[in-house]
Structure 1
Amino acid sequence: MPKDYHRRPVGTEIDRRYPLTTAISAGLDMLTCTGLGATVGSLLAANMMMPGQNFAREIARLDIYATLAANGAAAASFQAPPAQVPVIETSTVFFGFQPFSIRTSLLSFDSPYEPVDKAIRGPYARMGGGGRAYAQYWSHRGGARKTLIFVHGFIADPYWFNARMFGLRKLYQAGYDILLVTLPFHGYRKAWFEPFSGFGYFSRGMGHINEAMLQAVLDLRIFVDYLLKRGAPHVGIAGYSLGGYMSAIMAAVEPRLSFAIPMCPVVSVVDAAMDWPSTRLLFGQFLRLTGLDLPDLRQATAVHSPLTYAPALPAGRRLIMSASGDRLTTPRQVALLRDHWPGSEMYWFPGNHLMHFERAKYQEHMRRFMDRCTA
């Protein structure tokens, strides 16, 4: 990728159909990403921009991940799930009114993840890494059915929010079981002293981010194991924003999936940061102080990027969905994944990262795609 990729055009093929909607929603997104970027940037700066030993340590930590990424083999980069991981299911409860109530339970297990960088094992664990993994499970009576794993975005972990935002109740009523996974450092997995959900993901530097991404993949694969052993005939994955990133990585790591649907996905963590004005300033300062270049940072985080690996799923089982006015995960980011996944289906809809217009239409498209892949 060229160094100035973040300056390339952002447009999509539906912009002419929705010029006003795209322009307004993109402008609103720029306000959002400026505020969010300032939050994430300040967390990174507190660790990355410290003088002396912290600074040198942060640079040294990146080499181990760059070496793994250079290998280009997903099996070497991502830990395989252990043969036996005890998954605990809490008592079943129902929410909603008959006949449309949903049967839910909470799944959890002790994550067996071991940090790649052994030197940060202790600090990573103290910040909430490791610990227990959680997911809310919507199941039907009579045994496991075809199942959608859904992965939330950064900060956006509440189960009710994702259920409403992405029409998951309709998918449940259409016969799908649903598993809403909680990513590391979010929700139940947030350390007690962290000020908000997701804080731990970006608060300890780039090596820590890499470990959180790698752990999330391992935990997701353990949930896939559990669902298949439970008898689910098909298991697929979808995710939004950071969750879209995770679902794209899973498409490169887990061939047992029946489908993968990244939605408004992050594709390159570094280039996403370069799209946000506030984090762009931080990265520019970081590069000047270290003598590194933008390709160096890309390589340091490439270990968990879907662009590093060939997809393990065939083209017909990959659907990319995104908004034309999205400026948090811009269309030029999404185009990278589309080009890396030749033959995959691409679906653009009007709106931005949080405001999705024609939602019912794209949700129906998503359901039809899932039906085809699980027929």
Structure 2
Amino acid sequence: MSASASRIKRPRLRDLGVAIGRFATGRENAITDVAGVRVHHVTKIEGEGELVPGIGPVRTGVTAVMPAEGDIFLDRVFTASYVLNGAGEVTGLAQIDEWGLCETPILLCSTLCVGRVLDATVAWLSRLHPKIGKEYDVVIPVVAECDDSFLNDAVGRHVTQADVEEAIDNVRGGPVEEGCVGAGTGMQTFHFAGGIGTSSRRVPVGGVDAMVGALVLSNFGDRELLRVDGVPVGRLISDRFNHVPRRGPAGSIIVLVATDAPLIHRQLARLSRRAALAIGRAGGYAANNSGEIILSWSTANRVPRLGAGERTAPSSSRSLSAHPLAPGRHMAELVLDTELDELYEATVDVVEEAILNAIVAGVDMTGHSGHHAPALPLDAVAELLRRYRPPRPSDPRPTF
């Protein structure tokens, strides 16, 4: 059956007594702690048995992320990207790099569903803005992918237009479900089940507290290379999984980083490059057939599509465009580069924890043809962390 993500309470990294880095999390420890950022998953789990391309079994889904409050098409956000390894796809990436702006929801899905999800998002945006393709120029939605074909009938492209519309229409703030949900349903992280993870940090930037959050669609890593806050967990537990067939070493990860610190495109590109460091910290090395792609944006400034005299509604942003300016001009706030070091540090921490949350929240997932992705054995991992990792005063109390 097709369903929204389940309400099952899944553990998180902090349930193992591990807090990455030195900064405090936001309320939900999720990307939605950045005000205005909203998320929703649609999960599809159907059938079992041998693979019949076009029929099933199905272990997939779609995840929608709205980058900011209000109408993202009319009030764009500064955005930038970094490609650590490019064996992957993000539609609209060339436009983001050229303009430094994002103007659509961000959709995450299985590789072969990119065209279908893009088409459905165009339809959704066109209904919202009938002037697209007439008075407005055309739109290129941002759709990013990872390959779930080890567990899922990928050729069947089972995400429908209705699934995409459900995901976008129901984006919301608050807690974000993790693990085998939405686009992460059939994904694996270090050969363990679990694809969606998120985290956040509150960090001083330019004299004020800012929020930075990350959400990952994680589908990368060799089991033996997994590290949890520096402990080589994968190497220490890999022997117990020698009997479990697994896919090859390649995979991909899409990293989304949002902040309310006032950054422009150039600064967000620098932030994206720092986020890539977290992939290596967890044990990734950007394999030849892997796609590691990072998108970062700031909600602090909004860049209007329309001139002041053309606007049909007031901007919902913190933009300074209300100041008297000549037509065709716009003001934006930014923090000086010299004030960004702690934000860089927090970004690496938040992406690392998001990756680990994806795998900790995963549940045993059997897909087509008996292919199986085991859940990370949390009791064993908790014991290894107690044995090899000295606790810090900031660490939460473990519940395993």
TM-score norm. by structure 1 comes to 0.28
Between the two structures, name the one with larger relative contact order (CA 8 Å, sep ≥ 6).
2
TM-score norm. by structure 2 comes to 0.27
